[in-house]
A = this chain, B = another copy of it.
């Protein structure tokens, strides 16, 4: 099956005559999309027909909102059996999204052992390493040799998620090292595993580390899995690279959406009410901010009344500076998203944006000067436009580049509403500089 086919398959949304057997034959990730495309009643119908294992794997791959809706519509006995069969981390993600009553009801129906594990996982903050970790890890005694380890793996591996790594612990369950299957295959026969990891620079995270930092670490070191430990350095679980891909996607959505005051976790599946609740506060902030810009214009009622064309031209200045600022803003937010914050490098980047702003503003202002002069033959007016453009585009570059850094420095999300703050500044300064100059030199 080549990519093209798969992409078609993934896009395939025509379920006429779909049978449970066909659904069962699909990869869980595809089955999930197929199920999401059905009406809730059909979803329930098909899930009932699927083997529990397939149902669990497919539902684990569904979007949060669809997943929640489906579970709510299943009878609790079936829902509980499905939760029981999911990987503990997937089951926890699902349970976190449910209302307390339903979550408790399902947990009650899960066998003692699984329930205990899920309850533990539910105590971790979902935005931390503990909240995203997978607890199905292969642990080996550091005193085994490679061959013993391999045969132990052969017994153990059956019911675990693909272990790329096995973890070595000491007599007190403390993590002493990690060996990849590759290491085991390469290991000279005989020696105990602890020899393999003697010089190893073991990378771990505490369970309470923010998941975005976990993603940074895994990406930075090209790891397939990162062990999560408690304060006693005991192994709690691992965060795997496939979880990291989801985290990176979430991060990117957060930045892009919070930048303009949409909800960090909004998707096109979010309920309308949810999105409205997330966006209204920022829209109100935006009204207040644009009122500031409006007030600046109001200060020049006199000039505008005398020369109404100013009201038309001031748009061009503020728009241009706003766009210039957003270009700087976007590049800065992405830097902060991809690399750990480095103050020196960050402020160096601000100077870079100012240089860009100087060059761009000169090009644009010359262009605009020529057009205005050519159309109006009012050279004073054309000059005011050009000067105001240079001033405001520079302000735009400086603000666009520094707003995310300032937000970061005061411990806020660097993207949050940054575009709204930027526009307020570029509009106000743009109107003030252009109308002010025009008032003095043109009228």
Residues of A within 8 A of B (CB): 1-4, 6-7, 10-11, 13, 27, 29, 129, 150, 153-154, 157-158, 162-164, 180-182, 185-186, 201-206, 209, 213-214, 216-222, 224, 229, 241-242, 244-246, 248-249, 252-253, 255-257, 259-262, 266-268, 272, 275-276, 279-280, 282-284, 286-287, 289-291, 293-295, 297-298, 300-302, 304-306, 308-316, 319-320, 322-324, 326-335, 337-338, 340-342, 344-346, 348-349, 352, 355-356, 359-360, 363-364, 367-368, 419-420, 423, 427
A316 in contact with B287 given A181-B182, A242-B241 (CB within 8 Å): yes
Which of B11, B291, B315 is the one whose CB lies under 8 Å from A294?
Answer: B315
CA distance A311 to B314 in the complex (A): 10
A323–B422 alpha-carbon span in the complex (Å) = 12
**Closest B-chain residue to A223, C-beta based?**
B242
- Tell me if A327 and B257 are in contact (CB < 8 A): yes
Contacting residue for A262 out of B213, B241, B331, B345, CB 8 A:
B331
Copies in the complex: 2
A302→B293 CA distance, assembly (Å): 22
Determine the chain B residues whose CB is within 8 A of the CB of A248 once the complex forms. 245, 248-249, 252
**Cα-based distance from A202 to B1 in the complex (angstroms):** 6
Q: How far is the CA of A301 from the CA of B312 in the complex (A)?
A: 8
| Pair A291/B316 contact, Cβ less than 8 Å | yes
Task: Kindly identify which residue among B209, B289, B294, B334 contacts A312, using a CB–CB cutoff of 8 Å.
Answer: B294
CA distance A224 to B161 in the complex (A): 13
Question: Which B-chain residue is minimally distant from A153 (CB atoms)?
Answer: B185
